[in-house]
Structure 1
Amino acid sequence: MLKKILIANRGEIAVRVIRTAREMGIATVAVYSELDRNALHVRLADEAYALGGQTAAESYLKTSAIIEAIKLSGADAVHPGYGFFSENADFAKTITDMGVAFIGPPPAAIVEMGDKVSSRKAALRGGAPIVPGTTEFLKSADEISQFAKTHGFPVAIKAAFGGGGRGMKVVHDEKSVKEAMESAQRESKAFFGRDEIYVEKYLSWPRHIEIQLVGDTHGNVVWVSSRDCSAQRRHQKLIEEAPAPALPDGVEDAMGAAAVKAAKAVGYFNAGTVEFIYQDEEFFFLEMNTRLQVEHPVSELITGIDLVEWQIRVAAGEKLPMTQKQVLASRRGHAIEVRINAENPTGGKFLPSPGTITKLTTPDGFGVRFDGGYESGDTVSQYYDNLVGKLIVWGKDRESAIARTIRALEETKIEGLHTTIEADLAILRHPDFAATKHSTKWVEEKLDLSNLVSTTGETQQNSEGLVEKSTVVEVNGKRFDVKVWVPPVGGTAPTAQKTRSASRGASQSGGAASGTITAPMQGTVIKVLVTEGQTVAQGDAVLVLEAMKMENQIQADKAGTVSKINCKAGDTVGSGDVLLVIE
């Protein structure tokens, strides 16, 4: 058995791996950037080593720093988590060449299946149907245009070495091709360290169904469960569930068999996920993620299998603990996972919301689990993924799982920053979700979040200088929780002034158009799309702002002429900073 595992990651997945390793009696080593010096995963690990730097490229994607930490710690294994180096064959090979176990698939399998273009070829060899798309890396925007002429718009540009919706851009017309390609490449490079991309046809109303599998080094491969991950926005999953509901008889088994066949064809071992697009009772191979998925806990809850433990045992050379028949026999009930992200879903915009968590209260009760990477007082940085934590709930059937998830979400309290909790509740309460009528496009095209308002739970002043306070009163012996707007402690209400947050709301949240374009979140300016003196129309993109590895187009709130630009590419800006002015 392995003796010491270095986790080459951060946040909740690092915490997740550390906890299982400790239960197995294995020592753990954390690595951290300057911003993560006091992070939860660092506090939980037996040892911790500094990588330096702030951004992912300066720290968690810096191979030399991680290699040095492995040598200094004497770790005999590395768990890559997900993201960062988890699907990087060069990193896996470097680790194994050192005589250190890589807790993941062999480098050759990562090359073939981790590269989405090669994996499509492998799927074809295995007889699995694929969505129409390219089987070579794109070299120019013209190739995308030519593909669209043959298959029609919309098309999806995707990161060849990525996943989780990062580096994916949907293009609806010819004029957007070049900009979308460049944006996809930038996101892919920032999150995965590589910028190769490919293109495929974008289906009209599909469900996203995937198969969790695990293989060992003795030639055994089993599929654990299906998962439905159709509740998405910006091609990133919000809610996942297992097993995938409302599939015709035999479809899940057929998907499982296809996934196992594809894995065996490339000599795959350890945990992996084969993703399919399902529409009109047909399924198509989408891609294979050669790593543990964010949503793996739902498969764990319906089987009782600790997938991280299985990963570690496979890396140690052990055989799988269960056969395919035993795995399927262990399944019971239904599980749902809700990703709680640091985003502001007000009006359905889902804008990044980095900041410090001033209060974090997680739910409890039968069938409830919370996997988090933060505690009260911790800061969610603009430089990393925005996942605060995952709520995973089990129920005897889907109906009870949904009800329990809603109850648990209502008990979850996070203050200091915006989260997606209110949007998650809107999804779970919607009759379309209950009836499994949703698709990967449902959240953005059908779910009405226009009246949704998110708050950070703090006492922020409104336009009249008042702050919201919560208190408890008793009337005739009955308790009531009430909220009131009162002057700040130690003072009286000032005359109404437009505060920093009020200004932000005016320019970007549907208020009166002011022409003063402010940053809706803390981030880095990637590209200024206009010049001073240029005429713009309302809704035109004027600037690209990156926060939490996602690019966000900032739009003109009115037609006019750009009179002033206060920033340039590479600048770091704060929430509410004036970026440019339109007159």
Structure 2
Amino acid sequence: MIRTLLIANRGEIACRIIRTARRMGIRSIAVFSEADAGAQHVLQADEAHPIGGARAADSYLRTDRILAAARAGGAEAIHPGYGFLSENAEFAEACAAAGIRFVGPPPSAIRAMGSKAESKRLMEAAGVPIVPGYHGEAQEEERLAAEAARIGFPVLIKASAGGGGKGMRPVLRAGDFAAELAGARREAKAAFGDDRVLLERYLQRPRHVEVQVFADSHGNTIHLHTRDCSVQRRHQKVLEEAPAPDLPPALRARLHEAAIAAARAVGYVSAGTVEFIVEGDDAFFMEMNTRLQVEHPVTEMVTGLDLVEWQLRIAAGESLPLAEAPAPHGHSVEVRLYAEDPAQDFRPSIGPLRQFHLPAPAADLRIESGVVEGDAITPHYDPMIAKLVAWGPNRQAALARLSAALAECRVAGITSNLGFLTRLSTHPAMQAAELDTGFILRHAAALQPPAGPAPRLALAAAALDALLPSGATQRSPWDRQDGWRLQGAGSRLLLLAEGETSHRLRLTRTGAGWQGEFNLAGHRLPDGALQVVVDGIAHRITVLRDGDAVQVLLPEGEWTLRHLDPYAPAGGETAGQGRLSSPIPGRVVQVLVSEGDAVTRGQVLAVIEAMKTELRISAPADGIVAHIGCAPGDSVEEGAELVTLAAAD
């Protein structure tokens, strides 16, 4: 058995591997970048080594520094987690050359499945069904356009290397092909260093169903059932569940058999995931992820197995612990809590987690996170904050447990998708398992309702949060919150700003409550939520404070308000409305206008890449480009000027 293990990763997956290693009596070594010096995986490991700068290219993608840390710590094996070097055949070979076991498949399998085009040729030869498309080596734009016309629109452009939705663009019309091809190639080059693409028929209502497979070095291969990962944004998963619901038994059996055939075709060893597109009774091979998946906990919850332990035992030369998969027990659902803004096309958010609370783990609830309150979400890595994994005896019970867990979460300081996940888990179509990869787009009106003006209840909750004691010990008469005055009842004047709109509220203390714009009462609940009683009706509302900002979460949406000094003089005009700045640190990949150009509202002016995402900077109104403050290739900080617009004549 392995005695010392180095984890070549960060965040929640590194913490998860450390926990399993400790339970198995294996000493763990963490590696960390400058940005992660105080990270949880560093604090939890038995030993930790610095490996370079904050950028992944300067640390977590540096094979030489990771191997140097492994040698210094006496590691016998390296677990790559997922992302970074986990699917890098050269890294696996370098580990072997250094006499260190790579916890994963052989380099030949990584290479075979790392190229989407090559993997599809292999699968076709092995009898695994594939989506009709073009997987050839010729990459000239004219050839690709001709192949797209042959396949018939709509088509899907996919990066030949890598995964995670990078370099993937659906094209509905021939006239859009050239622009989308350029965007897909640009994303693929930035993410994988390889701008080659393949084309596939774009299925209209497909499900994304995958099969967990495991193989050992003794020729044994088994499946561990299915997962459904259809609920996605920008081709990246948001909600996953196991087993995949509502699959006909014959189709489920075909998927199991095809996944095992795919693994055997490339001499696979360790944990892997074979992904399929399913539409009706048809199933087509999509790709194979040659690593542990982010969503592996849902499989563990329904099988009772520890897949990381299996990986470590197989890496040590042992046989698979089981000859076949145990029958799945119950149902499990996982959501990914991200630092992102669903209202802004899921734009990543950065900053400190000023408030961060997750529910306590339980037998039917698993929490995976690599951050705690006070940590910062930086622009250097994926903005996932945590995973919540719920279990129930059936799918409805699992979703109910997930919804209850989400209600206990608190996130402030950055924008998160918490409210979005709450609406997603309770949506009628989710409850009915009406799943396909267009789920979020189709139900956007319900999942991402326009915020509109803050409703009366949101204002009442924000006011009550300001009026209630904060929990500090009363030290003087000035700390009293009962509104006592020598002459008459005390009152408070509150000024709440909502964008350009201000709400002025005067509330007078009356007994156990307040009166003014509404009759208000309530108290703080033990879990931090507020019991808000407005005009005699009680509501349980989550209110999060971050300095002067207050975020109110209601079932119909979220509103952020800001407390202003009601006695301060009115301010004047601020920065020019035509100055468009970078919303996040990143790299400029395109500038699409020149000084003097006339632009229209909504026109894309520039594109920046940040946190594995391309962000389009669009004109907020018609105007003239007065100044361009960036160029392609520039690294820009948050708030840096990109384009300045002047009013059109």
Give the AA of the match of 1:332: H
User: Which residue does 1:266 correspond to in 2?
Assistant: 266
Distance 2:562 2:105 in 1: 58
Distance 2:72 2:280 in 1: 54
User: Which residue does 2:613 correspond to in 1?
Assistant: 550
Distance 2:610 2:225 in 1: 34
User: Which residue does 1:340 correspond to in 2?
Assistant: 337
Distance 2:70 2:33 in 1: 15
Give the AA of the match of 1:563: A
The 5-angstrom pairing of residues 362-441 of structure 1 reads 362-364=358-360, 365-441=362-438
The 5-angstrom pairing of residues 180-579 of structure 1 reads 180-324=180-324, 327-329=325-327, 331-346=328-343, 349-364=345-360, 365-448=362-445, 449-453=447-451, 462=498, 463=500, 474-475=512-513, 479=523, 481=530, 482=532, 487=563, 492-495=567-570, 515-579=578-642
Distance 2:218 2:582 in 1: 54
Distance 2:364 2:504 in 1: 38
* C-alpha contact 2:11 2:371 (8 A) present in aligned 1: yes
> For the pair shown, which has the larger CA radius of gyration, 1 or 2?
2
Q: What SS does structure 2 have at the residue aligned with 1:579?
A: strand
Give the AA of the match of 2:608: L
How much does 1:415 deviate? 1.2
How much does 1:521 deviate? 3.3
How much does 1:322 deviate? 1.0
How much does 1:175 deviate? 4.6
Distance 1:225 1:21 in 2: 25
* C-alpha contact 1:465 1:495 (8 A) present in aligned 2: no
Give the AA of the match of 1:352: P
Give the AA of the match of 2:395: R
Unpaired runs of 5+ residues, structure 1, are: 504-513
How much does 1:59 deviate? 1.7
* C-alpha contact 1:345 1:453 (8 A) present in aligned 2: no
* C-alpha contact 1:85 1:192 (8 A) present in aligned 2: no
Q: What SS does structure 1 have at the residue aligned with 2:165?
A: coil
User: TM-score by structure 2 length?
Assistant: 0.81
Pair 1:404–1:568, CA change in 2 (3 A): same
Pair 1:174–1:534, CA change in 2 (3 A): farther
How much does 1:478 deviate? 6.4
Q: What SS does structure 2 have at the residue aligned with 1:337?
A: strand
User: TM-score by structure 1 length?
Assistant: 0.90
How much does 1:538 deviate? 2.6
How much does 1:569 deviate? 2.6
Greater displacement, 252-261 / 560-569: 560-569
Pair 1:384–1:183, CA change in 2 (3 A): farther
Q: What SS does structure 2 have at the residue aligned with 1:85?
A: coil
* C-alpha contact 2:89 2:111 (8 A) present in aligned 1: yes
* C-alpha contact 1:467 1:486 (8 A) present in aligned 2: no
Give the AA of the match of 2:628: I
Pair 1:573–1:495, CA change in 2 (3 A): farther
Distance 2:563 2:434 in 1: 47
User: Which residue does 1:510 correspond to in 2?
Assistant: none
Give the AA of the match of 1:383: H
How much does 1:496 deviate? 5.0
Give the AA of the match of 1:387: M
1:146 matched to 2:146? The reply is yes
Q: What SS does structure 2 have at the residue aligned with 1:544?
A: strand
Q: What SS does structure 1 have at the residue aligned with 2:223?
A: strand
User: Which residue does 2:91 correspond to in 1?
Assistant: 91
Unpaired runs of 5+ residues, structure 2, are: 455-461, 467-495, 514-519, 525-529, 533-542, 544-549, 551-560
1:22 matched to 2:22? The reply is yes
Give the AA of the match of 1:369: R
Greater displacement, 5-14 / 314-323: 5-14
User: Which residue does 1:508 correspond to in 2?
Assistant: none
How much does 1:525 deviate? 2.0
- How many residues are matched? 562
How much does 1:54 deviate? 2.2
How much does 1:198 deviate? 2.0
Q: What SS does structure 1 have at the residue aligned with 2:166?
A: coil
The alignment's C-alpha RMSD in Å is 2.8
Greater displacement, 370-379 / 170-179: 170-179
Q: What SS does structure 1 have at the residue aligned with 2:56?
A: coil
* C-alpha contact 1:335 1:393 (8 A) present in aligned 2: yes
* C-alpha contact 2:497 2:562 (8 A) present in aligned 1: no
Distance 2:412 2:563 in 1: 21
Distance 1:149 1:303 in 2: 45
Q: What SS does structure 1 have at the residue aligned with 2:644?
A: strand
Write out per-residue CA displacement over residues 7-39 of structure 1, whole angstroms, 9 at most, x where no aligned residue: 111111111111111111111111112111211
User: Which residue does 1:5 correspond to in 2?
Assistant: 5
Q: What SS does structure 1 have at the residue aligned with 2:209?
A: strand
Distance 1:387 1:138 in 2: 37
Give the AA of the match of 1:142: E
User: Which residue does 1:509 correspond to in 2?
Assistant: none
Q: Which has the higher contact order (CA 8 A, sep 6+)?
A: 1
Distance 2:451 2:638 in 1: 18
How much does 1:213 deviate? 0.8
